[in-house]
Each structure stands twice: as C-alpha cells, then as structure tokens.
Amino acid sequence: MTAATVERLRAGFASGRTRPLEWRRTQLQALARMLRTHEAELAGALARDLGKPAPEAYATEIGFTLGEVRHALANLKRWTRPRRVAIPLALQPASARTTPQPQGVVLILAPWNYPLQLLLVPLCGALAAGNCAVLKPSELAPFTSALLATLLPRYLDTDAVAVVEGGTRTAGELLGQRFDHYFFTGSAGVGRQVMEAAARVPAPATLELGGKCPAIVHDGDLRTIARRIAFAKFTNAGQTCVAPDHVLVLREHAPELARQLRGAILEFFGADPAQSRDYGKIVNERHHRRLADALAEALDGGATVLSGGRHDARRRYFEPTVLVDAPSDSALAREEIFGPVLPLVVVQDLDDALERARQHQPPLAAYVFTRDPAVRARVEAGLRAGAIAVNACAVHLAAPGLPFGGIGASGLGRYHGRHSFEAFSQARPVFRKPLWPDTLRMAYPPYGGWRDRVLRWLLR
C-alpha cells in the first residue's frame, strides 16, 4: 500500500505537473479554502482529540496555518525567481544564477500535540516549492487524522498529495520507502530513526524535536511576566515543544512571581480549571500517567506545590501546576516535561541562571524577561538555543519571516515562511560561458612562463 502510494506520487512528479507556478498557487488556494470551509469540523476534531477550545484551535492550528498559506501565496513569485551570482574575474566572461528546484516526493511525519498545524505548515512549504508529498498524521490524534485524510483528497491533487494513516508500523513502512526529503516533528528517539532512513537514500532531513526550554526571570513587571509565562505554558495543557519547561527566577522575585502565577491561572481558567471551557486535556492515559508519576516523584523528593497539583486519569485532566524545589535528579528536572507542570528554580543571579540552563542540551527556544539591555545581550551570547525571545514566550512562532527549528539535540533544519520553501527546494546552480573568447586557455597545460603569472594575477 505505502509503496504503491509513493510510486503513484513519483509518477506524478515525473510528469512535471507540480512545476508550474499556477499549479502551486492552485494547491495553496485549495488548502486555504479547505481550512476556511471546514473550520468548525476541524475545531471539533481538535476538541475531541485534545480538548482544545475553539479559539485556541483557530489561533494555534487553523488560523496559524492559514497565515502561512497566505504568506506563501503573497511571496511565491518572488521566492521562485532565479538569483544572480557574481562571477570572479578569472571566469569572465560568464554569468551564473541559482534557480530553486523542487526536490521530488517528500515525507511529512506529524506529531499529536498540534496535529493539524504541524502536518499542514510543512505541506504548505512543500507545495510552494513544487513537490509531491506523502503525509502521515499522528494516530494519537485519531479524529483530526481521520478528518484530514477525508478532506485533503477532496481539495488537493491526488497525484501529488497522499495521506497515509496508521501507527508505528505504518511509519516504519514509510521509512522503508525512498523519499527525496524527510520532515519529522516529534521525539529525539524517532528522529534518529528518520535520520537513519534519510542516510540510507541519502536524502536531506528536517527534524523538529524538543528540549527543556528555560525562562529566565531577571527583572520587570512580574504580573505581566507571569501572565505571559502562564499563557505559553498552559496553552494546549502544556503539550507544546516551545513552552517554557522551567522558570529560573532570581531569589528576590520568587515569592511574588509565584503569587502572580497563581493569579494568572485563576484569571485564565477560574478556581477549578476542570470546569473551564478554555483549558485542554492530556492526549492519552499513558502521557497522563507519565506526568502523574513525575509529579509524585518530585513531591516524594521534597518539592512543594505552590498551585494546582490535582489530576484525573479518567478525564485526562491535569490541573495547571506550579511547584518549587523539584530534586535535581527527578524526571521534572532532567527530562522535557511536555505537560502543565511548571517548576520554579530559584537562582542567585544571572550567572547562576545561565549555568543551570546550560546543564541541559540546547532547546528549541530560550526566554528571558528583563528591561536591561545588558542582561538581554548576556543571555543571547550565553545560551545556545533554536531561538531566543525577550519578554515573551512561544509567540515568535507566529512570525512567518522568522525561521523555526532547533540546534543540536533539539533539531536539524529550519522552516516557516520562505525558510519552508527553501527547505524543500534545491538551489540549483546554472553557469553559462560563451565559447569565444576562450579565456580558460590560461589554465590549460602545459604550465609555466607567462601563463602562470597571468593565472596568479587573475586568481589573486
């Protein structure tokens, strides 16, 4: 089944159908039309899978993807133009340019936490670049997966785009096929399997993984800081790869920040978030159990809950939780939390905060809250991360002009906006030189004499 699907798309790509700009525009316009027409159904599927409130589903998934599609449509002609390249004197007369070429048939493997956005935003870049694409939605978001598998063939060219549903076995079968680009969002363990599959071809791979994103609170309006951290952390019930994983707060600010975080949670979700229509749920029982076990381990080791802590596996509910003094050897301190549990780590000063942040692998993002340009500069220079945001968390993803991606263990490659187009393109060089005059004769053998001197002058 998977082999036949890939071969069908490979034949579609070989036919040249995806290369014209008009085809690309038509596909992108159809994708936007699908999102607008079926907004309510898509939001309903996201609610069933993850408990996403409709406004959150629009802002972080449907509307987010529409913004990427609109950006691509507005800039597609400019992105596809050849770029002239300067030619050194030794090669004159000549001209050169790079022309973006589609890579072929690409594979996009999406995760469950943003099952629409993280499938369709890469697809937007693949279509803009003129590729065919095999899409595998996450089986852990079954309602969204099934709906997209139904809708996408109605709107997009079925000889260029195919949706393959299934679990780990299906993913393994797909990785056994030959693709021209592999795009994966998810865990580091599966990312390594994707890299191995790409290396066998060989083909390029884009990996969007994760990490422990730190938020350093140095100074500023603590009420605003708390609201921005709480918003980024507890959106999608904390199941966001760029959510602040832990807060490194100066000792003098820790009590007030804790108080303001409690206030922000109350403001956002009420006295009982279990009754809130604006708060999501954990994706499945396994992940709920993982979070519950991690919290219990931290509490057994001496951590103190400052807010929240209640959970219910039956309803996949986990209350927004803030705690302090999580043991350094606990899962909450060692591993990416990926849920609505926020440890506060009290630090002495900025040096202490930077040292603690550097104890982990470079994350997808790092955040600092400060009014002091010198503090901001030290964080930017002192931390390796996929992105740095100052006085904000997570919202930098909504700027399509900014590349999104990790570094080291948090990922490989960049996408969003033009960076998506370039990720799925080959910048193919084209070099042109007339046959007369034959200036290359300076480099022909036999060597020696005046030719050597002229050649050295030309190449100086």
Residue 148 pLDDT level (bands cut at 50, 70, 90): very high
Residue 454 pLDDT level (bands cut at 50, 70, 90): confident
Q: Do domains 2-209+408-427 and 214-398 have the same CATH topology?
A: no
Kindly indicate whether the domain formed by 2-209+408-427 is annotated with CATH number 3.40.605.10.
yes
Mean pLDDT of the chain: 97
Average pLDDT of the segment spanning 72-88: 97
Look up 393 and say whether it is catalytic. no
Domain ranges of the chain: 2-209+408-427, 214-398
Whether the per-residue pLDDT at 1 is higher than 80: the answer is no
Model pLDDT for residues 275-321, shown as the tens digit of each residue:
999 999 999 999 999 999 999 999 999 999 999 999 999 999 999 99
Model pLDDT for residues 172-229, shown as the tens digit of each residue:
999 999 999 999 999 999 999 999 999 999 999 999 999 999 999 999 999 999 999 9
Q: Which CATH number, 3.40.309.10, 3.40.250.10, 3.40.50.1970, 3.30.450.70, labels domain 214-398?
A: 3.40.309.10
Residue 6 pLDDT level (bands cut at 50, 70, 90): very high
Which amino acid type is present at position 265? I
C-beta atoms surrounding 98 within 10 Å: 15
Residue 442 pLDDT level (bands cut at 50, 70, 90): confident
Average pLDDT of the segment spanning 318-344: 97
pLDDT of residue 276: 97
Q: Which of 56, 61, 68, 208 is catalytic?
A: 208
Assign 3-class secondary structure to the chain: CHHHHHHHHHHHHHCCCCCCHHHHHHHHHHHHHHHHHCHHHHHHHHHHHHCCCHHHHHHHHHHHHHHHHHHHHHHHHHHCCCEEECCCHHHCCCEEEEEEEECCEEEEECCCCCCCHHHHHHHHHHHHCCCEEEEECCCCCHHHHHHHHHHHHHHCCCCCEEECCCCHHHHHHHHCCCCCEEEEECCHHHHHHHHHHHHHCCCCEEEECCCCCEEEECCCCHHHHHHHHHHHHHHHHHCCCCCCCEEEEEHHHHHHHHHHHHHHHHHHHCCCHHHCCCCCCCCCHHHHHHHHHHHHHHHHCCCEEEECCCEECCCCEECCEEEECCCCCCHHHHCCCCCCEEEEEEECCHHHHHHHHCCCCCCCCEEEECCCHHHHHHHHHHCCCCCEEECCCCHHHHCCCCCECCCHHHEECCECCHHHHHHCEEEEEEEECCCCCCHHHHHCCCCCCHHHHHHHHHCC
Model pLDDT for residues 218-267, shown as the tens digit of each residue:
999 999 999 999 999 999 999 999 999 999 999 999 999 999 999 999 99
Look up 208 and say whether it is catalytic. yes
Percentage, residues of the chain above pLDDT 90? 94
Q: Which of 213, 241, 336, 422 is catalytic?
A: 241
pLDDT of residue 459: 81
